[in-house]
Amino acid sequence: MESRSKISSWVVLTAFVGVVFFSSFVGLAEETITIVDSAGRTVELPYPVNSVVALNGNVPEEMIALGAGDKIVGIALGTKTKVDEGLLPGLEDVAVIGDSEDPNYEKIAELDPDVVIQFSSWPPVPDELQAALDPFGIPVVALDLYRMEVYNDEVELLGKILGREQEAADYIAFIQDQYDLINERLESIPEEERKVVYFEGVGLYETYGGADFGCGIPGMIRAGGGKDLYPEIEAYYFNANPEDVAERNPDVIFKGISEPKGYFMEDETVLKNLREEVMNRPMWSETTAVKNGDVYAISFDATSGLRKKFGPLFIAKALYPETFSDLNPESFLTTYLEDYLGLEPQGVYIYPPL
């Protein structure tokens, strides 16, 4: 596989810096690495890191994909649920350190990991977490692994921390190949002709602000060639006024679903019913999306958390089916499940099918 492709033009770099420094000491076998994490914090770690407590629920899956699942010694309750569902093979006996927002610090100390990895801005925020773990000498690194703008950089840094540099480069190239295809073809679609997208979460009229990096959904929409319906709003999540949605007149509507998971769906029934509910909302009957039938029910297995990396493929194909007639997002996703996670390639992720 070719080495990592150059990060494409839509990538907007944040304060995250992918620069690392190695150091060693005379008479000592241990090597260290100094990194700048996604919260802009400088952190020194042993190299390679051999034991990780993952408060960030995106980290375990990415570590498995990099062939480093055996380095995970602690996970949060939300991750344990995925383990029990069989979605994170190899982590069945890993210790649970409590809820990600209220971890058991004594339990973490007992595990004595080389590092704890947390989100850059979700509670407890990295500095708060570090203060709690300082008495135990345990460093904290912030990585998000859901923001399209810095996703490749974060995977590269995770690979560097774990001593899995080549695996990270190969993994990034696997995904970047699809992004390069999308970006190349999007160049033929002028900005003024890009389609406007309303993406609704699980809750009724729950959507996402596009003015900040937020939850990552707006960045995923932009990466797929769309325009977010609420680009001026900074809130991670908010409840939209349905009349305002109608007035803004989206070209395409996506309705997300988290349960049942797309991986466990055997047919399209749940997604089809969900789409029909959106299509039948009276005040949206005159929107371009509904009139043209461009309303999709989509699983968060393909568009949430670290799976946002697949979202641009689904969005690009839904928005511009003729431009991306040969793009097969579901096939790419199931290839990932099989090749990187060791899972059976199965599931239904979007309706109508692309």
| The predicted structure's pLDDT at residue 235 | 87
Question: Are residue 28 and residue 160 in the same domain, yes or no?
Answer: yes
Is 217 contained in some domain? Answer: yes
Mean pLDDT of 8-13: 36
User: Which of 293, 228, 297 minimizes the C-alpha distance to 267?
Assistant: 297
Same structural domain, 136 and 41: yes
Q: Where does a domain end: 135, 168, 201? A: 168
pLDDT over threshold 60, residue 9: no
Structural domain including 297 reads 188-351
Looking at the fold, whether 198 and 97 belong to one and the same domain comes out as: no
The verdict on 221 and 305 lying in the same domain is yes
Report pLDDT for 215: 73
Q: Is the pLDDT of residue 7 over 80?
A: no
15 is a domain residue = no
Question: Do 113 and 204 fall into the same domain?
Answer: no
Same domain, yes or no: 203 and 326: yes
CATH number at residue 310: 3.40.50.1980
| Mean pLDDT, residues 321-326 taken together | 97
| Domain termination residue (choose one: 168, 196, 212) | 168
Instruction: Give the residue-averaged pLDDT of 84-91.
Output: 98
Of 104, 138, 168, the residue at which a domain comes to its end is: 168
Q: Is residue 201 part of a domain?
A: yes
Q: How far apart, in whole angstroms, are the C-alpha atoms of residue 276 and residue 297?
A: 9
Q: Calculate the alpha carbon distances from 352 to 76, 119, 168, 334, 349 in Å.
A: 35, 34, 34, 18, 10
Residue 100 domain flag: yes
| 13 found inside a domain | no
- 198 and 341 in a single domain? The answer is yes
CA dist list (Å): 80 to 77, 86, 231, 286, 350: 5, 10, 35, 44, 26
Give the confidence band of 236 by pLDDT, cuts at 50, 70, 90: confident
Rounded average pLDDT over 59-86: 98
Distance CA 252, CA 250 (A): 5
Model pLDDT, residue 80: 98
Asked if 205 and 199 touch (Cβ cutoff 8 Å), the reply is: no
**Which pLDDT score is estimated for 10?**
36
Give tens-digit pLDDT for 168-195: 999 999 999 999 999 999 999 999 999 9
The total domain count for the chain is 2
Assess whether 138 and 228 both reside in one domain. no
Per-residue pLDDT for 131 more than 50? Answer: yes
**Residue from 335, 331, 337 nearest 313 by CA:** 331
What letters, b where the CB count within 10 A reaches 16 and e where it falls short, cover 56-92?
Answer: bbbbbbbbbbbbbbebbbbbbeebbebbeeebbeebe
| pLDDT higher than 80, residue 214 | no
Structure tokens given for 268: 């399209």
- DSSP for 145-165 reads S--GGGHHHHHHHHHHHHT-H
Is residue 225 one of the residues assigned to a domain? Answer: yes
**What pLDDT sits at residue 330?**
96
Residue 42 belongs to some domain of the structure = yes
In this structure, the answer to whether residues 48 and 123 fall within a common structural domain is yes
Q: Is the pLDDT of residue 34 over 60?
A: yes
- At 102 the three-state DSSP class reads strand
- Residue-level pLDDT at 203: 96
3-state SS class at 346: coil
Report the DSSP beta bridge partners of residue 24. Answer: 31
Whether 235 and 146 share a structural domain: no
Q: Supply the mean pLDDT for the chain.
A: 92
Percent of all residues in the chain with a pLDDT value above 90, rounded to a whole number: 87
Residues 217 and 96 in one domain: no
- Alpha-helical (H) ranges within the chain are 59-65, 77-84, 105-111, 126-133, 151-162, 165-186, 217-223, 242-248, 269-279, 288-292, 311-319, 329-341
| pLDDT attached to residue 4 | 34
Q: Give the amino acid at 107.
A: K
Same domain, 203 and 160: no
Is residue 7, in this structure, part of any structural domain at all? Answer: no
